[in-house]
Amino acid sequence: MELTRSRTIIIVIAWSLVLLWMGVIYSLSSQVAVESNALSHGVTEVIVEAVQTVVPSAEFDVDDFNHLIRKNAHLLAYLILGFLVSHAFARNGLHGRENARHTLIICVLYALSDEMHQMMVPGRGPALMDVMIDSLGVCIGLSLYYFIHVARKRVRRKIIE
């Protein structure tokens, strides 16, 4: 498979997005516990206010909800990473099970390294549950990528017919 200039640019952009997103994850993991908790608490308060605007009778314990938001942030961050890595491998011509295998290996290793990195951040520490949540996010991102890929193929076939 010959690489054209435009295809090379697409591959570089795809992998650049992966590295950029890994940098975002690393940056968030580098926050000391107080900063990290303040950020997630702020997000939680905005979400609670929005929900209570729509459903005024809704009552939330912000601290309990904050824990849920933090875990969902892990899931979302790694869902995006899984999607981006799968897309980058696909741009390189790696599809199917090989794409999924390589995506899972890279993303789960990154999740593990992220938790190890948190051992060096004041007030933070590694959590196996976070790696499991991150891995679930990767699987969802990978599945989402394949769902979109298959849907696009079907639409293209119908247009051609």
Q: Distance (Å, rounded) from C-alpha 56 to C-alpha 61?
A: 14
- Asked if 99 and 145 touch (Cβ cutoff 8 Å), the reply is no
* Of 34 and 61, more confident: 34
Q: Distance (Å, rounded) from C-alpha 100 to C-alpha 108?
A: 12
Q: Distance (Å, rounded) from C-alpha 102 to C-alpha 71?
A: 25
**Count of CB atoms situated within 10 Å of the CB of 32:** 12
**Per residue in 52-104, pLDDT tens?**
899 888 887 888 889 999 999 999 999 999 999 999 999 999 999 999 999 99
Has residue 12 got a pLDDT over 90?
Answer: yes
Q: How confident is the model at residue 158 (pLDDT cuts 50, 70, 90)?
A: confident
Q: Distance (Å, rounded) from C-alpha 61 to C-alpha 40?
A: 14
Residue 111 backbone dihedrals phi, psi, to 5 degrees: -60, -45
Q: Distance (Å, rounded) from C-alpha 86 to C-alpha 116?
A: 24
Nearest CA to 24 among 105, 72, 78, 85? 78
State the pLDDT at residue 2. Answer: 66
Mean pLDDT, the chain, as a whole number? 93
Q: Is 58 helix (H, G, I), strand (E, B) or coil?
A: coil
CA-CA-CA-CA torsion for 19, 21, 25, 27, nearest 10 degrees?
A: 70
